[in-house]
Structures are given as structure tokens and as C-alpha cells.
Amino acid sequence: MTREITILSGKGGSGKTTVTGALAALGKNKILVDADVDAPDLHLILQPQIKRREAFFGSKKALIIPEECIQCGLCVTSCRFDAIKMADPPLVAPIFCEGCGLCRRICPAEAIEFAEARTGEWYVSDTVYGPMVHARLDPAQGNSGKLVSLIRAEGRKIAEEKRADFILTDGPPGIGCPVIASLAGAGLVLIVTEPSLSGEHDLRRLAELIAMFKITAWVCVNKWDLNPEMTVKIEEVSRALGMSVAGRIRFDLTTVQAQLRGRTVMDYPESPAAKDIEEIWKQLERMQW
């Protein structure tokens, strides 16, 4: 049975993708999913070779039928997103159109229809660590939760075909819609946090969200040695919230050098961070979930 681990952080910059990339190097027989579709960056260290490319149609946009339009201007004055400009016929700016449907509802000539709009792309790629499913939203486009759900479903399909043991999902930051989409159906969540007040705050918010899904959550503290006292507090908070502590990762400039070279920190196995992440992975492998 394929087990799915979603790696989250609650905020950007905590080291979530760094840890995911390292786990990708450690795990055997797995599928990789980058669920941060708004600002993906796992590809920067895994160097995927795209094998399949698909358009994503995540919303509908207004389309004015010229021969039906009577130039009344009602759609122009009613659009709260300023997406329609007066012309002959009125012009719709797709980047501003939210697809709410008000213009079609009020048009006296029934001259407005809605068409599926391309809002991004998703990919199936090969990496040195296994197949990877990832995506990218186009600028100013929404519905990232739908795209996350789509690529996770594709990842599961590939995992079933290849009889993979694990799916490693690099989740998006925060606690919004794409994070919720990355949690649904996951077997385990690994939270990567940092020893700071903001790290603790975001950890609490994320823990509350995960609890709603009744998913087992483990916590690791990245760069723990920069603030040992705060690390102890975060570990205490984690246990109080019903989460286990997977381990600590030391601050290590080797991680930065690895990223600059487009590699994972596991390419430097003697580095402190690599050793710490390897111990965390051993714990996750031993777990029964």
C-alpha cells in the first residue's frame, strides 16, 4: 500500500522544500509531488525532465458575442472588478475577470457567455529520484486548490501503476485553500518549522487545521541551534497539541551551497544537516501509519 507524506510549514522560508528534496534522495520507490503551484521551487533542486505537459483550465471567463451586443454598457458599469471596458463591442480583460457571472445575468441582450479559460499547466517529469508531478499557475490566476487536487490525483495514479511505497508531497506554505487540498487523504504530515515566535504562531495555526483532518502529524525544527530555548518551547507546544517530534536539523551553510548548485543537501552526506535529515527519515520509515 502506498503511503503519502505531506510536508508543510505554515509559512514560507522555513526549509520545507529543502527537507522534501532531501527526503526524495533518501526514500526508495516513491513518487514526488510539488503541490506549491503558486510558487513552485522543488524543480530547482531536483532538475526534472518534463515528459508530459497538460494545460489546466481552472475557471471560466466572460466572452462578449459582438453580433448580439447592443452597446448598453450595463456590464461595464456593473463589473466590480473593472474587467470590462467600453468599446465596440465591450472588451473583457481576462486577467481581471473573476468569472462571477454577474455580467451574463444582467445583460438584456443575452450577449455574454462563459468559456473555460487556461489558467496554468501541469507536468509529469522524471528526476534522478523518481517520477515527479508538478504544476504552475499562470500569473494572477486562482483556483490553486483545484490544481493541487489534480496533480495529487495524478501522483496517486502513477504510484499505483508503479507500485510505489511512498508519495512525497511538498505542500504549499500557509493554511489556505491549496494547503487544505494538499492535506485531503494524506497519511502523515511532517511540519518543518523554525525556532522563532512566528514559527510557533504558524505551527499552532497549522496544527489546528491538521487536527480537523485527523491526520498524524510530526514536527521537526529546522536551524534549531540558532535559538535552542525557542526550540525547546516549540517542541513542548508540539507535544501539547498532540504532535510528535521527529527531530532537529542544524543550521548548515552546506544547504545553501547545495541549493546554489541545484542539488539536495544529501549530495553532501557528511554535512550536519544531511545527517539530521537522515535520522528523521529513519523515524518516518519505522512508523506504522
* Structural domains of the chain, count: 2
| CA 228 vs CA 126, 130, 214, 222, 250: distances in Å | 39, 36, 30, 11, 11
54 within domain boundaries = no
Between CA 11 and CA 198 the distance in angstroms is: 9
Closest CA to 277 of 5, 11, 26, 3: 26
Quote the pLDDT of residue 285: 85
Grid coordinates standing for 120? 496554468
Query: Same structural domain for residues 193 and 113?
Result: no
Domain that holds residue 264: 3-47+128-286
Per the listing, cell 504549499 goes with 172
Same domain, 199 and 142: yes
The amino acid sitting at 219 is V
Asked if 112 and 132 sit in the same domain, the reply is no
Q: Scanning the structure block, which residue is given the C-alpha cell 549530495?
A: 267
CA–CA gap between residue 115 and residue 288 (Å, rounded): 47
Whether residue 249 sits in one domain with residue 177: yes
Phi, psi of 219 (to 5 degrees): -125, 135
Preceding peptide of 89 cis, ω within 30°: yes
Residues 21 and 102 both lie in one domain: no
Query: Residue 110: how many CA atoms within 13 Å on its side-chain side?
Result: 0
What is the model's pLDDT at position 42? Answer: 95
Q: Are the beta carbons of 207 and 236 closer than 8 angstroms?
A: no
| pTM, full prediction | 0.90
Q: Which segments of the chain have a pLDDT < 50? A: none
> Alpha-carbon dihedral of residues 144, 149, 152, 154, nearest 10 degrees?
-110
Residues 26, 79 share a domain = no
Tell whether 114 and 226 lie within a shared domain. no
H/E/C letters for each residue in 214-241?
Answer: CCEEEEEEECHHHCHHHHHHHHHHHHHC
- Name the phi and psi angles at 108, rounded to 5: -70, -20
pLDDT of residue 288: 65
Q: Which residue(s) pair with 116 in the sheet?
A: 60
Burial class (CB in 10 A: 0-12, 13-18, 19+), 49: exposed
Same domain, 241 and 215: yes
Residue 123 lies in a domain: no
Shared-domain flag, residues 278 and 137: yes
Tell me, what CATH number does 210's domain have?
Answer: 3.40.50.300
Q: Domain check: are 103 and 208 in the same one?
A: no
Same structural domain for residues 104 and 175? no
